[in-house]
Amino acid sequence: MLMKRGLLTEVQFRVLACRGKGMTQKETASVLGTTRANISMIELRARRKVEAAKDTIRAYLSTLEQHTIRIPKGTRFYDIPPTVLREGDRRGIHIQSNIVDIVRMVQAIKPSCLEGGRTKRGISFVFNPAGKLRVGSPER
């Protein structure tokens, strides 16, 4: 019975292992008791699966990246949203929040971070490569 090794079948895994050791397709076919043409097809399919897995992992890891924007103490309240949006643009990421959303985020923490229309302590915003924005912890 053939086993699977992750996304690869046992045969695909063995073919890639042989090829990784520098064996030719003909030598691999001899070891595995099949034809060189069959090894060629098995290798092609295995490499496609490996590339698809790599693409999936890269895409997933990119969602874990976090970018931080720090708004310093003393910043005018109405300067915060354009600053956040510009910083996303500068990093090549479209922030999925608009000015009104950002104003509401800041107003939700207003008692501790705003005074007289300015920040009384720094505020950080965090966003991922997909542009999902959230307010970080207020800075001391």
Cα dihedral across residues 93, 98, 99, 103: positive or negative: negative
Q: For 5-10, which contacts have Cβ atoms below 8 Å and span 24 or more sequence positions? A: 6/53, 7/49, 7/50, 7/52, 7/53, 8/46, 8/49, 8/50
Domain harbouring 35, CATH code: 1.10.10
Residue 15 structural domain:
4-63
Position 127 in a domain: yes
| pLDDT at site 88 | 92
Position 73 in a domain: yes
State the SS3 of 45-104. Answer: HHHHHHHHHHHHHHHHHHHHCCEEEEECCCCEHHHHHHHHHHHHHHCCCCCCCCHHHHHH
| pLDDT at site 109 | 77
Structural contact between residues 7 and 49, judged by C-beta atoms closer than 8 angstroms: yes
Structural domains of the chain, count: 2
Q: Per-residue pLDDT tens for 70-88?
A: 999 999 999 999 999 999 9
User: Which residues in the chain land under pLDDT 50?
Assistant: none
Could you tell me if 23 and 77 lie in one domain? no
Structural contact between residues 91 and 67, judged by C-beta atoms closer than 8 angstroms: yes
Position 140 in a domain: no
Could you tell me if 79 and 112 lie in one domain? yes
